[in-house]
């Protein structure tokens, strides 16, 4: 058991180290800005719209495996406020994901500048009509706070997104200009001023200061579409109704915990015997083991995906390894009822299956998972796992 716990601790430490190298908060913000720009088309009544790099023809070049018209099926048309509202709603729908990557809880806003950039930035939340402080471009807003900061580029009468990180840093993202410049426009607030950050080139339609071929555009854009497949990994350990049967496994879920899979390894020490005749028998020590590969599907979620319920179905294989044995003799004879173990013929190798249910609790980078399953090898199984968002 101590060895199993040591392996569990080692794997968990490795998972933690890996989690910090896969994706960071800034990359997530930039990906969301590009996604917003893909869907949006900037059109301001009474003026000539700037060039939209995310037209259907460009999307066909960028994503040859996808149809550009299909990509824009959920598109919207409008000005900067429409871009900000679309991105705000998208963050709301994926709030748990953003909080895992470092967003301070509920600290994301629509930022608005007045006709005088020296007046600072006002932060709003979308609201319903009954509690709204102001209506802008047909949307209802509730005023949250005011920042004494100069907007990026001294923008006047503009709208964008501001998000606070857990370390206190305020990030800003302007999805409107991401659409019109071909590369991500974002930064941080430093010394009461919105300062630009250099974007990740691979997330830009137009490489910084260089022209791109259709091939390089397609290659660079593919990383953006990897976002739905970043995973949360849970290392679990559990005990079956046979108390000397232990299990350890790794569970992997996609970013919204809708689908996942797992690999489990079960093992136990078992004593078996063979009856030679009425006066002698042989006893053996065995290591019995099984492994399962399972698929998971979540059916219900609550509190913005913080609590998830789902089911599991898996197939596996069981086998045993005989370690050592010995012969015993009784001059007076014996009865089979004297033996508590299994005879060797009872240990068989072959396919196994499992079916069960789980509950997942997500909070920031942390994830906890409880499992209750029936396994054809192992019987009733209860397990608990802890993990991280990778």
The confidence band for 294, taking pLDDT boundaries of 50, 70 and 90, is very high
Number of domains the chain contains: 2
Of 168, 197, 228, the last residue of a domain is 228
Lowest mean pLDDT among 101-115, 311-325, 347-361: 311-325
Q: Report the distance separating Cα 212 and Cα 42, nearest Å.
A: 23
Closest by CA to 244, choosing from 341, 314, 353, is 341
Q: How large is the average pLDDT for residues 68-84?
A: 83
Residue 209 sits in the same domain as residue 237: no
Question: How many whole angstroms separate alpha carbon 143 and alpha carbon 224?
Answer: 32
User: In 3D, which of 22, 2, 3 has the Cα closest to residue 252?
Assistant: 22
For residue 287, the SS3 value is: strand
* C-alpha to C-alpha distance for 288 and 272, rounded to whole angstroms: 11
Q: What is the pLDDT of residue 211?
A: 34
Helix axes 25-39, 80-93, angle to 10 degrees: 130
Tokens representing residue 368 in the block:
């906890």
**Token pair 């299909």 in the structure block, residue:** 70
**Same domain, yes or no: 130 and 62:** yes
Query: Is 329:280 a contact under the CB 8 Å cutoff?
Result: yes
Tokens 């593919």 identify what position?
222
Residue 152 CA neighbour count, 13 Å, CB half: 23
Please tell me the distance from the alpha carbon of residue 184 to that of residue 207, in angstroms, as a whole number. Answer: 10
Instruction: Give a yes or no: residue 368 inside a domain.
Output: yes
- How sure is the predictor about 7, in pLDDT bands with cuts at 50, 70 and 90? very low
Which tokens belong to 259?
């689908």
Average pLDDT over residues 355-372: 82
Burial (0-12, 13-18, 19+ Cβ within 10 Å), 21: exposed
The mean pLDDT value for 227-254 works out to 63
**Are 26 and 164 within one domain?**
yes
Q: pLDDT tens, 301-345?
A: 776 567 889 999 999 998 876 665 555 555 554 555 554 445 554
Q: Between residues 312 and 224, which one has the greater pLDDT?
A: 312
Residue 1, domain member (yes or no): no
Q: Which domain holds residue 285?
A: 230-389
- Cα–Cα distance for residue pair 180/194, rounded to 1 Å: 20
Last residue of one domain, picked from the residues 173, 207, 228: 228
Instruction: Tell me, yes or no, whether 175 and 240 share the same domain.
Output: no
């Amino acid at each position: 058991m101590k060895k199993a716990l040591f392996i569990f601790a080692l794997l968990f430490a490795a998972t933690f180290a890996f989690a910090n190298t896969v994706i960071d908060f800034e990359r997530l913000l930039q990906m969301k800005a590009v996604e917003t720009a893909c869907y949006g088309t900037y059109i301001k009544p009474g003026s000539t719209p700037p060039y939209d790099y995310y037209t259907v023809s460009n999307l066909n070049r960028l994503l040859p495996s996808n149809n550009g018209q299909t990509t824009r099926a959920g598109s919207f048309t409008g000005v900067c406020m429409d871009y900000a509202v679309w991105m705000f709603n998208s963050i709301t729908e994926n709030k748990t994901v953003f909080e895992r990557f470092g967003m301070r809880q509920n600290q994301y806003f629509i930022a608005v500048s007045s006709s005088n950039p020296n007046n600072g930035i006002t932060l709003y939340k979308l609201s319903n009509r009954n509690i709204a402080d102001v209506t802008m471009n047909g949307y209802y807003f509730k005023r949250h706070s005011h920042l004494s900061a100069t907007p990026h580029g001294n923008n006047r009468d503009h709208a964008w997104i501001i998000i606070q990180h857990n370390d206190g840093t305020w990030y800003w993202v302007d999805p409107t200009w991401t659409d019109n410049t071909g590369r991500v426009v974002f930064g941080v607030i430093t010394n009461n001023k919105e300062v630009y950050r250099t974007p990740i080139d691979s997330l830009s339609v137009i490489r910084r200061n260089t022209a791109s071929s259709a091939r390089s555009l397609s290659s660079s854009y593919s990383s953006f579409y990897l976002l739905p497949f970043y995973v949360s990994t849970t290392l679990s350990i559990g005990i079956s109704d046979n108390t000397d049967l232990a299990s350890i496994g790794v569970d992997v879920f996609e970013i919204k915990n809708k689908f996942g899979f797992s690999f489990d390894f079960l093992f136990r020490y078992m004593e078996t015997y063979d009856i030679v005749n009425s006066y002698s028998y042989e006893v053996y020590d065995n290591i019995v083991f099984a492994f399962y590969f399972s698929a998971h599907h979540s059916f219900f979620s609550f509190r913005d995906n913080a609590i998830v319920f789902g089911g599991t179905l898996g197939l596996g294989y069981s086998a045993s390894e005989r370690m050592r044995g010995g012969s015993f003799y009784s001059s007076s004879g014996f009865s089979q009822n004297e033996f508590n173990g299994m005879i060797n013929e009872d240990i068989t190798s072959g396919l196994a299956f499992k079916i069960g249910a789980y509950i997942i609790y997500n909070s920031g980078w942390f994830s906890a998972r409880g499992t209750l399953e029936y396994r054809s090898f192992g019987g009733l199984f209860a397990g608990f796992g802890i993990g991280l968002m990778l």
